[in-house]
Amino acid sequence: MKKLLFAALSLSLIFTSSCDKDGDKDEITAQLPSSYNFENVNHSGQDQRLDMLSEIVSYAKTSNSGSAVNAQLMFDMMGNKNYQWQNTDLNSSSKQIASKLEADASLVMGDWIRLLDSISQNPNTGSNGVAGLVSNQAGTKQYLFNEQGYELAQLIEKGSIGALSYYQATAVYTSSTKMNVDNDTVNPGKGTDMQHHWDEAFGYFSAPKNFAETSFSYDNTQDYHRFWVKYSHELNEVLGCDAKIMKAFIKGRNAINNNNLITRDVAITELRQEWQKVCAGMAIHYLNGAKADFADDALRNHQLSEAVGFLWSLRFNPSSPLNAEAGDKIIKDSFSNLYEITTSDINAAIDLIATNYGLQSHKNHL
Amino acid sequence: MLKKLISNSFLKNSIVLMGILFFGACDKNGGKLSQVNFDQKPMLQNWAQHIIVPAYAEFNSNLQQFSLLSDSLVNKPSNELLISLQKNFKQVYLSFQAVKCFEFGPASNISYKAMLNTYPCDTIKIVQNAQQANYNLSTAANADAIGLPAIDFLLFSCADELLNNAALRLYLQQCVNQVGNLTSQVVQEWNNGYSQQFTTAIGTDMGSSLGLVINALNKDYELIKNAKIGFPAGKKTLGQTFPNACEAVYADLSTELLAANITSIYNLYQGLHFNSTQRGPSLQDYLKETKISYYDEMLDQAIALQFEKAITAVQNIEQPLSKVISQQSSLIDEAYLEIQKNIVLLKTDLPSALGVLITYQDNDGD
């Protein structure tokens, strides 16, 4: 009887250990909570900005059904002034997006918004050299492209989650300026300054606190199915990124709670490393998609625009192997005109991204 | 005694249960667990050695012959050469049908199918390109002015012009060379390492060869339904037909190519060696092992039967689709219906039986 029980236990041990693919059962990991269920977590400001971004992106995408987009209205939305949100909870919010965008990126975004305004006024059918609406071969999707085939709504969406969320989380709230702050005085509901800054970074990732926990089941009808959580989950099968990013956030907050700044800094490095794999991976994902739909102007250019949005966003992470200049060079070399692109152009970009972000072995499966 | 027996069997059951549970916890494929005892490797070897590589080799060799003829036509145009090219074209296009469902790995890397077979071609663009002479046939913008559809147009709709116009002959030669070069690239990659990689990528996850083949097979089969027959027959356009959107519309090969394409996928399913009646380990064998039934028959047989019904229904059309598609004939409706019936079996039942995910649809909805 005892032998049988023992056999059962050892069986379970074998199977448990065969599941553990990380193998790094260091002391801290062993003590880590499985979710971001900490005291005094408040990232309502980030939640509000992302809700605003959802509405802005929806508005920008109305251009794909032929509606005119007004640049001033989009600037007002970005700045949260003179605008009544459809999501009425936001009308009492004091937060805004415009001031939180990375400074150089903010100028580029402004240009994109004005360009979207200009090409969305009474658009005709688009083609190489002519801005306008382009349908896919099956006649089920339609996008507004500029003369070079760029879907501005996609650049604005992917660019925003780069210049806002990704930038704020990886470069601002986890920077020494925001991290070398008081960690003693607990403000009710917000924790210490250091805790709060960390929670704000987590807010920009915008995951539910139990995201990627073993018992968590992803549901793409839920509100959290957007922006970085959605993209991380899209690549999770290949990269296992959901749990890795969550682990970095949990590890960092746990370390701050214990005032262990060395471990906190390890978590910052891990967070930046894992998150940039999602950004790079999504660029490759859409480039692969563009190759699969190479002969379909609408589907190809739509996916290339998404890819370029992620490629452009890579620069906002301080640990990015490709800086702004290198990113711009890839965009100039491979994506100057999406109608005239070749598979060699696309493959050159995929290889550069994959090599720099450690995704060579995954690049065909993303 | 009785009590002991019960608890003993309870314990044994618990052990089994625990084993299953832990296996379950390890399963990251997202699909159902594959309890089937089937050795994938011999099947993958059969596919690579006896089906895929020989099919590419045959197509490649047909293209080399064809290329010699087109070279001759450029140098010394004659009606005789033109007729030879026209005759050879049928064999070339038929042998392409045997490789077009392998759009993964080396083929998907260069958007092979889009580069070789985007139809209907843009005949105005073809003539303009030929006259302007400074064309880049690799750009996306030219995807509908190259490949087998462009060759079809030039050989069968511009026969007289070809004999009298050196620029058109040169354009034909460039198209033929491009198809040849792209095919050689794919053949070389299969021969230099990819076969090895393919036959060792065992499993059911996204990068597995089984996953790649089932996804590619489905994507091609859906293309058969939509592009080869559905769209020209007006199935998506309220019955408004488009005979000129048929494949090989100028050479009148549409029905034969349709039958050949379905047959080649059916042969792959059965594990039939290329151009042979010999069978090797197959998808059908694999499915048979699952012992899953479909209504009152086994799933593997239901799929096989449906392939046969579809092929017979297509053969019953007898004349080229492009000639009869506007007559609203019941033969065309029947062929479309029989082709369509296998979609759900191939895209839902087959992948779920084997624990493979269909991933080719970009389902992020934006």
Cα angle A297, A301, A305; round to 5: 175
Q: How far is CA A276 from the centre of its chain?
A: 9
> What would the mean pLDDT of A79-105 be, rounded to a whole number?
97
What is the tens place of the pLDDT at every residue in A183-241? Answer: 999 999 999 999 999 999 999 999 999 999 999 999 999 999 999 999 999 999 999 99
Q: Is B359 inside any structural domain? A: no
- Cβ atoms of B307 and B262 within 8 Å: the answer is yes
Residues on chain A touching B7 (C-beta within 8 angstroms): 1
Q: Is B5 inside any structural domain? A: no
Q: Are strands A132-135 and A142-145 parallel, antiparallel or unpaired?
A: antiparallel
Q: Which of A61, A160, A241, A291 to mutate to test the interface with B (most CBs of B within 10 A)?
A: A291
Q: Is B8 inside any structural domain? A: no
pLDDT band for A7, please (50, 70, 90 cuts): very low
Neighbours of A240 (CB within 10 A): 16
- Token code pair at residue B135: 């064309």
- Token code pair at residue A234: 């899209």
Supply the DSSP string of B168-190, one letter for each residue.
HHHHHHHHHHHHHHHHHHHHHHI
CB-closest option in B26, B108, B364 to A292: B108
Q: How far apart are CA B2 and CA A86, in angstroms?
A: 70
Q: Tell me, what CATH number does B262's domain have?
A: 1.20.1420.20
Count how many domains chain B has.
1
Q: Could you list the residue range(s) of the whole structural domain that residue B170 is in?
A: 31-354
Q: Is B17 inside any structural domain? A: no
Residue A118 has pLDDT above 70, yes or no: yes
Interface of A with B (CB under 8 A): 1, 4-5, 7-8, 11-12, 14-16, 18-19, 61, 128, 138-139, 157, 230, 234, 237-238, 288-289, 291-295, 297, 300, 303, 338-344, 347, 364-365
CB-closest option in B15, B140, B206 to A300: B140
Per-residue confidence (pLDDT) for residue B329, from 0 to 100: 82
Q: Which of A12, A235, A342 to mutate to test the interface with B (most CBs of B within 10 A)?
A: A342
Alpha-carbon dihedral angle through residues B175, B181, B185, B191, given to the nearest 10 degrees: 120
* B108 with A291: Cβ contact below 8 A: yes
Q: Is B162 inside any structural domain? A: yes
Residue A6 has pLDDT above 50, yes or no: no
Residue B19 has pLDDT above 90, yes or no: no
Residue B364 has pLDDT above 70, yes or no: no
Neighbours of A286 (CB within 10 A): 25
Residue A10 parent element (H or E): helix A2-19
First vs last C-alpha separation in chain A: 49
Residue A3 parent element (H or E): helix A2-19
Task: Let me know if A253 is exposed, middle or buried by CB neighbors in 10 A (0-12, 13-18, 19+).
Answer: buried
Residue among B331, B274, B266 nearest B305 (CA): B266
* B206 with A12: Cβ contact below 8 A: no
Per-residue confidence (pLDDT) for residue B108, from 0 to 100: 96
Residue among A54, A96, A93, A58 nearest A76 (CA): A96
- Cβ atoms of A286 and A346 within 8 Å: the answer is no
* A8 with B114: Cβ contact below 8 A: no
Beta bridge partners of A138: none
Question: What pTM was estimated for this model as a whole?
Answer: 0.88
B362 close contact with A: CB closer than 8 A: yes
Residues on chain B touching A14 (C-beta within 8 angstroms): 22
Neighbours of B30 (CB within 10 A): 14
At a CB cut-off of 8 Å and minimum separation 6, what does A140 contact?
A: none
Per-residue confidence (pLDDT) for residue B35, from 0 to 100: 64
Q: Which of B4, B21, B22 to mutate to test the interface with A (most CBs of A within 10 A)?
A: B22
Q: Is B176 inside any structural domain? A: yes
What is the tens place of the pLDDT at every residue in A52-67? Answer: 999 999 999 999 999 9
Per-residue confidence (pLDDT) for residue B236, from 0 to 100: 84
Looking at CA atoms only, how far is residue A119 from chain B in angstroms?
20
Cis-peptide, bond into residue B106, ω within 30° of zero: no
**For residue B12, what is the nearest residue in chain A, using CA coordinates?**
A4
> What would the mean pLDDT of A137-155 be, rounded to a whole number?
95
Please report the residues numbered 101 through 130 in chain B whose beta carbons come closer than 8 angstroms to any beta carbon of chain A: 103, 105, 108-111, 114-115, 118
Q: Is B365 inside any structural domain? A: no
Backbone angles phi, psi at B297, to 5 degrees: -135, 175
> What would the mean pLDDT of B350-359 be, rounded to a whole number?
94
**For residue B114, what is the nearest residue in chain A, using CA coordinates?**
A295
- What single letter denotes the amino acid at residue B211? G
Per-residue confidence (pLDDT) for residue B112, from 0 to 100: 98
Residues on chain A touching B11 (C-beta within 8 angstroms): 1, 4-5, 8
- Quick check: ipTM above 0.90? no
- Token code pair at residue A187: 């403000």
Per-residue confidence (pLDDT) for residue B36, from 0 to 100: 81
Q: Is B213 inside any structural domain? A: yes
pLDDT band for B37, please (50, 70, 90 cuts): confident
Residues on chain A touching B206 (C-beta within 8 angstroms): 237-238, 365
First vs last C-alpha separation in chain B: 65
* A8 with B11: Cβ contact below 8 A: yes
